[in-house]
Structure 1
Amino acid sequence: MDPRHKKILQRNRTNLVRDLDPSEVYDGLLSRGVFTQDMIDEIKSSGTRRDQARQLVRDLETRGSRAFPAFLECLRECGYESLTSLLQSEDPVGQSVPSPQIPVIRPLPVCPIDVREPDKIHSNPPKELPLYPTEIDIASPSPERLSPRPTQGRTRRDSIQSYKMDASPCGLCLIINNVEFEQHSDLKDRNGSDIDSDKLERRFKSLNFDVVVKRNLKHKQIRQELSALAKMDHSNSDCCVVIILSHGTEATHSRFPGAVYGVDGTSVPVQVITNYLNGQHCPSLQGKPKLFFLQACGGGEKDTGFEVSPDEVQPCMGGPDDQTDAIPVSSSSDSLSMSDEPDARATLPTPSDILVSYSTFPGYVSWRDTKAGSWYVETLDRLLKENAAIHDLVTILMMVNNEVSQNSAKGLFKQMPGSFNFLRKLLYFQAPPHSQFST
């Protein structure tokens, strides 16, 4: 498909997923050769109407130059005038669907063999003949079909069923932002954390979550907020998000490593935090995704990385302040804060539908700039803004891992985010239209 048409579909994916009933355009796309019956059956098996619409739009992007104009014709025939006008308004060039052409196949030449002189078969063999006609003139619905797909024989990633994420609001997002720590805790204030908190509050509001921010909580207050969250009725929600910005520590564990500190210097294990919302303790969230984002150190060790060839290191795609996040003007601890440490052990059954995203690998520090915020949150916020309308959460987190891993503090220290993923399906946020251009 023409890159221009791909971008049009991506920019309008939210509207298409919301308004399109894929069952109404299947026959038209099939008759025009855009999809095969097997491909349509696969789209049908992807789940709800929204899931089918989302997969249909993604598959269209792989179907060659005729797919976009053929899709417009199908929308027009089925009465989707507003969607048709929306897509056409972004395609000033416009294309008409070419009429099918009859294949022109040239016959293979016949090379007679003299049966009376069989030795000539080997002594003077005829020129090697092509296995296929040397010229085929045919209008293919998808040029990509001429070469086998590299993933052929494997389960297609976009055929996995997605979580239902269309409630309004989608769910509750709790942000715990610990900035100022009590003197006896021996933990420094986390200057710059308010920047992270403000960014994530705006971002999750744009993703249609109700956001509640709590600041400077002691360890008992963290537990109380999570307990209150677990006791709420989430029957009308599709998801729940917990974000904790604090110091952290390394600890032994049975499932989720690490712990986060209250401002009183007492830590709460990540394992305990996630258990508040598991299926046993919060029945109204059973089968629904529970997401935890932790900006906290996983320990005190600094990662100096390892040497790679120059072509393996991609430049960071962020703004001009990215390097100042990594290489502060001052070498003092006030300019670039490092602080996170360990948790306690807990033993509970393997949770389902839970994802915990860590800003750094367990055991290592997490870097934060006092003026620009943390590497992890800045990258997470930006990539959610740019990709929430296109990609699922796990894919976006992989992008976050890659970008943060390219940074270096003082030209030496590295950071590697990661996640513990117990989700069972793909998760797509409710991204606003043209979210990659929004604030």
Structure 2
Amino acid sequence: MKFSRQLVTDLETRGSQAFPAFLECLRETGQHALAELLQCGDGVRLPPSVPIQPSLIPLPVQTPVYIEKPDRPDFTPPLLEPVRPKPLPVPNTPTPFPGAPVVRPNRPRRDSIQCYKMDASPCGICLIINNVDFDPDCDLKDRKGSDIDCDKMEKRFKALNFEVIAKRNLKHKRIRHEMASLAKRDHSAYDCCVVIILSHGTEANHNRFPGAVHGVDGPAVPVQLITNYLNGQNCPSLQGKPKLFFIQACGGGEKDTGFEVSPDEVEPSLGGIDDQMDAIPISSSSDSLSTSDELDARATLPTPSDILVSYSTFPGYVSWRDTQAGSWYVENLDRVLEENAATDDLVTMLMMVNNAVSQISAKGLYKQMPGSFNFLRKHLYFQASLS
């Protein structure tokens, strides 16, 4: 009997059908007694081996769902997306309770706009041309209050670590001479160059930068010509470095009376009691600019790149100046630089200046809108410390 039990055990290890097949073979060969002995053992029937079937989980059947067909013979019901079962939660993954904030992984933020290098000491040269007293024969009034603007800009850019050079009452040829001298200087040790012009202005022919500024003798120098002195061709030591021009002068003879807005839109501010314009109408005596500039095939940057020209007023319009407090534009430019240079870039601060000047009114009627022609390639932050 011990042998029969061992035989049964061995057969069961061969699979669930091995033992029944062996018994069937015994019966077919006429060995019925042995078959009964193996099947019953010591009179106790051995239970047949029951194979363990794997547990099968049926997948949900996705039945296409159609919307109800209206009473139209030409209507074809669209097939809607079948309802898919919600995925089971992954083990060991905590499920947030309802209303819990969803925590998202931090993604590294990469700013694609770089900043200009502005850590040289001094940072650069700042040339201020301050035209106040004009020849009586040129029909241009003296610019009372311009010395206040000049003092503000001189102190402000010294505080921003610039070497400031102030020139007063320059004739139109002298303006060109000063710009040519500035272009010939070696700016290799500097990171920036600034030119501030305080004068009367007018319109002029141009293909890049509008406007022109008058010398004290009457003739005007186009702003485009002034910027060309410092471009990538004419001043190699400033290539790739920011060249900033701030023009306090009229862009023409038109006066802007503004347009009516809701009182909530602006905070109106009245100008001084003696506001004057920095403009005369466009004149044929204004110098024209040659358009036959040669192309520099070896240059790696466009010639007018890294230049920003900030105008006190929109091209074609007058710019207002208080004879006792200085011009609206310079006053607000100085204030914004003082309050924000330690935290904000130049373009952002110029928008602050635009907004502040736009809310002032001359004689309770006339408005002024500054603006910029911006060809900078990077953010520009001045050297300034938090106060």
* TM-score scaled by length of structure 2: 0.68
Which residue in 2 is equivalent to 1:413? 366
Residue identity opposite 2:258 in structure 1: G
Deviations 1:310-355 (A, max 9, x none): 1211356xxxxxx3xx251xxxxxx221122455344357500000
Q: Are the equivalent residues in 2 in contact too, given 1:407–1:415 (CA < 8 A)? A: yes
Q: Are the equivalent residues in 2 in contact too, given 1:251–1:345 (CA < 8 A)? A: no
1:359 and 2:312 correspond: yes
The equivalences for 1:299-314 within 5 A come to 299-314=252-267
Aligned mate of 2:100, from 129, 132, 136 = 136
Q: Are the equivalent residues in 1 in contact too, given 2:272–2:322 (CA < 8 A)? A: no
By percentage of residues, which structure has more helix? 1
Quote how far apart the aligned CAs of 1:185 are.
1.1
Q: Are the equivalent residues in 2 in contact too, given 1:305–1:414 (CA < 8 A)? A: yes
The equivalences for 1:266-305 within 5 A come to 266-305=219-258
The equivalences for 1:185-196 within 5 A come to 185-196=138-149
Separation in structure 1 between the aligned mates of residue 267 and residue 139 of structure 2, nearest angstrom: 38
1:398 and 2:337 correspond: no
Which residue in 2 is equivalent to 1:339? 278
Aligned mate of 1:251, from 204, 226, 238 = 204
Separation in structure 1 between the aligned mates of residue 314 and residue 386 of structure 2, nearest angstrom: 34
Aligned mate of 1:174, from 127, 134, 141 = 127
Q: Structure 1 runs of 4+ off > 4 angstroms? A: none
Deviations 1:239-264 (A, max 9, x none): 00000000000122100000000000
Separation in structure 2 between the aligned mates of residue 397 and residue 312 of structure 1, nearest angstrom: 19
Separation in structure 2 between the aligned mates of residue 428 and residue 249 of structure 1, nearest angstrom: 31
Separation in structure 1 between the aligned mates of residue 368 and residue 386 of structure 2, nearest angstrom: 33
Residue identity opposite 2:322 in structure 1: D
User: Gapped runs of 5+ residues in structure 1?
Assistant: 1-130, 317-322, 329-334, 435-439
Which residue in 1 is equivalent to 2:167? 214
Q: Are the equivalent residues in 2 in contact too, given 1:206–1:432 (CA < 8 A)? A: no
Q: Secondary structure at the match of 2:178?
A: helix
Deviations 1:174-227 (A, max 9, x none): 000000001111100000000000000000000000000000000011000000
Q: Are the equivalent residues in 2 in contact too, given 1:253–1:346 (CA < 8 A)? A: no
Separation in structure 1 between the aligned mates of residue 112 and residue 352 of structure 2, nearest angstrom: 21
Sequence identity (%): 73
Q: Are the equivalent residues in 2 in contact too, given 1:299–1:365 (CA < 8 A)? A: yes
Which residue in 1 is equivalent to 2:381? 428
Q: Are the equivalent residues in 1 in contact too, given 2:171–2:215 (CA < 8 A)? A: yes
Which residue in 2 is equivalent to 1:199? 152
Aligned mate of 1:262, from 210, 215, 219 = 215
* TM-score scaled by length of structure 1: 0.60
Q: Secondary structure at the match of 1:230?
A: helix
Separation in structure 2 between the aligned mates of residue 193 and residue 400 of structure 1, nearest angstrom: 18
Which residue in 1 is equivalent to 2:328? 375
Quote how far apart the aligned CAs of 1:415 are.
0.1
Separation in structure 1 between the aligned mates of residue 279 and residue 304 of structure 2, nearest angstrom: 25
Residue identity opposite 1:173 in structure 2: C
Cα distance, 1:132–1:211 mapped onto 2, change above 3 Å: same
Alpha-carbon RMSD across the aligned residues, in angstroms, is: 2.3
